[in-house]
Amino acid sequence: MERATLWLSMIGFIIHLFFIYAKKYGWFEVPFESGLLIDPISAIYTPFSIILVYEIYLLVVNLPRSFTTSVSKQFEIISLILIRRIFADIPKIDLKANWMSTQENVQLIYDVLGVLIIFFLIYLFNKGRSRLPKKPLNPNLQSFVASKKAVSLILFPILIITSIISIYNWVYGLVYLQATSDINSIFYNEFFTILILADVLILLLSFQYTERYSQLIRNTGFVICTILIRLSFGVYGLTNVILIISSVAFGLIILTIYNLEENPLNKNKTPN
């Protein structure tokens, strides 16, 4: 999967560049208008999109292993979507105008600052994840892992079918209807909606295998993180970035409190 992602990213980057210069020099007529065919910098959008597909694959794979790792992958995916949007919006920047006078320039500032904050919060989240106590694989935990594997196996084909439908609808609307929808939200609206349902199902399954308050609150908090990410696709500008940051920050706070509950200083002085 890593090799395939690498090669597809390079091939996609070259093809995207080819279409940009084909349109620029009139080698042939492109049957649709797209902001991604204006500037060569926009070609970086394609390899990032392919990398995101690989990250989604890793998320589904990690779902049965650890709920916390799966949430960390969600945060990484939304941060990559934000970075990808920066590359798509750079050609829209007007350097001649007053920097704060155009919406595109201001949006770039929001996105760049948002990426820095989210990157730091993800670092703290992963650092907290590494401090989670290692638990023995008892029969209850084995049954829970098996249930999560079943959810993962169901989720995988659903995401494949959803991605194909989303791409088809976008291409059809672009070529035949000349409709310009927000390319940054294609598939990911549906993806995070499905992910919320999968997370809620795992949360309900966890009630069968554990009654510990701290673990139930942690898993519920992680579902809220996914919901906040999903809500971010319905808004634009500063609100979009704030919702994404609040999702990662909320997950970090939940994990920090959970670690304090599971690793009290007076009970555990040795590293896990």
What does the pLDDT profile of the chain (272 residues) look like in tens digits? 888 888 999 998 998 888 888 877 777 676 655 667 777 887 888 888 888 888 888 888 888 878 888 899 999 999 998 988 888 777 777 777 777 778 878 888 899 999 999 999 999 999 998 887 776 667 777 787 888 888 888 888 888 888 888 878 777 766 666 655 566 667 788 888 888 888 888 888 887 777 678 888 888 999 999 999 989 888 888 899 999 999 999 999 999 999 888 776 545 444 44
DSSP 19-47: HHHHHHHTSS--SS--GGGS-GGGGGHHH
Residue 270 has what pLDDT? 44
Displacement of CA 107 from its chain's centroid (Å) = 19
The predicted model scores a pTM of 0.82
Q: Where are the alpha helices (DSSP H) in the chain?
A: 2-25, 45-62, 67-89, 103-129, 139-175, 188-209, 213-232, 238-262
Residue 272 has what pLDDT? 41
Residue 175 has what pLDDT? 66
Residue 16 has what pLDDT? 86
Q: What residue segments make up the domains of the chain, in order of their start?
A: 2-262
N-to-C CA span, the chain: 32
Structure-block tokens of residue 224: 């809220």
| 125-to-83, 218, 240 alpha-carbon distances in Å | 19, 13, 21
Cα–Cα distance for residue pair 40/234, rounded to 1 Å: 28
Cα–Cα distance for residue pair 238/216, rounded to 1 Å: 32
